[in-house]
Structure 1
């Protein structure tokens, strides 16, 4: 799976290496709701290059279902934004047994494969639910890791109140929506969507509200982004937090693997 990861990233880099990004100007933010505009200014995007791709690494812990013990993990990921492509590789351990996984999103299609001990495939997910759900994840990445991409005029915005907005994001024939919540300073503190599906095996999919509260903003290469996030499904009986992520490294507009 690491070979697949490297191959997909290399292909994505070939598509962006010929792009010379323009500089983001104040006017590029003019169409945004006031709280989103405030967020992007706080993130320091004005005067910097428009983002064509981003590489970032995380560490944290994950679990498959409520009551399961947590597995520590490290992940590495590349996102490309025009057209959207997401390549995510993760390594985790549980009771000394390694697990590896790869999420791939390109050409408006998504897949997820997880193997135990490098041999036994325990998850092989794809199909319309994955395609829609990973479109939500791509937009979530844009909001948290690459807020400069939110100037894209293909995103439709609706102001809910002074500290929250609704965004409609479309890729191909898939359109998803999310509610973004901010604090008084302009930091994005939560992302909520009803368009993502939960699956533990790639066969059964359940639709619950999904949120990713953010915290602890820091500066990475001149861009201020949240460094900690939880991934939560809000089920009828209780909330299920299945992941805790900490951002450790970020690089924008990469040229090489």
Structure 2
């Protein structure tokens, strides 16, 4: 009996060690620490002259967010409460999200912890300068999704553009962005990053807030592991103050399927730090 208990204890320790070594949370923290060690350029304060070339609704939005007269944001760290849905009609999976992003290099790390059918699940999106990967790990040991490649990198380039628009509005003067007017409440933006150039339409309300982002350049992960380009939108709102920045704090992520829109995610921003 003692011998059997000793074996079980040893197996438990080995399992715990394996889970610790393969933890996506550890990967997130190590990658974030690595990204933060890269020297930053000289700090630049955003001026009215810097935004003069932008479409009128974009200029109003940047001013509304409190970006003018403050340093242009290079790095952000955010925390969200999230609910994700695997398919239309599926039960929601609630969890916590931590996201680190650096726009100059660029780097993007998105970590969500949740549960699926009672088992712990961790999701890690990792954009490392010019390549993207995505892993979904079940019970801390088994990858149920482990993908990367050129299509995912293009998809995550759209996500970086989305984050830049909503959560780093002072960087809308980034030289990798080009703009075209649509009307008084809409503008089109083009983002060139490495070999990828992606576009989106930005939609603003009467108050000047950015309330939607629509792109046809992002791919939805299919059951066979491929990425199928679909219209993707992120209607956000509930603007709040975060350390002097006025930002959207709540909204949805939507795939526009053939039979109608599918809201696959709802996020609420709870903590925001920028520098």
Q: TM bucket by the smaller chain?
A: over 0.9
CA 124–182 in structure 1, closer or farther in 2 if over 3 Å, else same:
same
Distance in 2 (alpha carbons) for counterparts of 1:68 and 1:120: 22
Distance in 1 (alpha carbons) for counterparts of 2:74 and 2:182: 29
SS, match of residue 73 in structure 1: strand
2:124 match: 102
Alignment of 1:121-132 (within 5 A): 121-132=143-154
1:171 pairs with 2:177: no
Shift of 1:64: 1.4
Distance in 1 (alpha carbons) for counterparts of 2:95 and 2:166: 20
Q: Per-residue CA shift, 1:55-98, capped at 9, x if unaligned?
A: 00101200111121110010101110112110111101234321
Distance in 2 (alpha carbons) for counterparts of 1:145 and 1:96: 33
Alignment of 1:1-257 (within 5 A): 1-16=24-39, 18-200=40-222, 203-253=225-275
Q: Per-residue CA shift, 1:86-129, capped at 9, x if unaligned?
A: 01111012343210011000222100000111112111121111
Gaps of 5+ in 2: 1-23
SS, match of residue 115 in structure 1: strand
Distance in 1 (alpha carbons) for counterparts of 2:254 and 2:48: 35
CA contact (8 A) 2:176 2:193 kept: no
Shift of 1:153: 2.6
CA contact (8 A) 2:122 2:137 kept: yes
Which structure 1 residue ranges, 4+ long, deviate > 3 Å from structure 2? Answer: none
Distance in 1 (alpha carbons) for counterparts of 2:225 and 2:176: 32
TM-score normalized with structure 2 length: 0.89
More helix by share: 2
CA 226–183 in structure 1, closer or farther in 2 if over 3 Å, else same:
same
SS, match of residue 37 in structure 2: helix
**How many residues are aligned here?**
252
Distance in 1 (alpha carbons) for counterparts of 2:224 and 2:233: 20
Shift of 1:200: 4.8
Distance in 2 (alpha carbons) for counterparts of 1:139 and 1:81: 10
Shift of 1:202: 7.2
Answer with 1 or 2: which has the greater Rg: 2
CA contact (8 A) 1:24 1:46 kept: yes
CA contact (8 A) 1:123 1:202 kept: no
CA contact (8 A) 1:123 1:201 kept: no
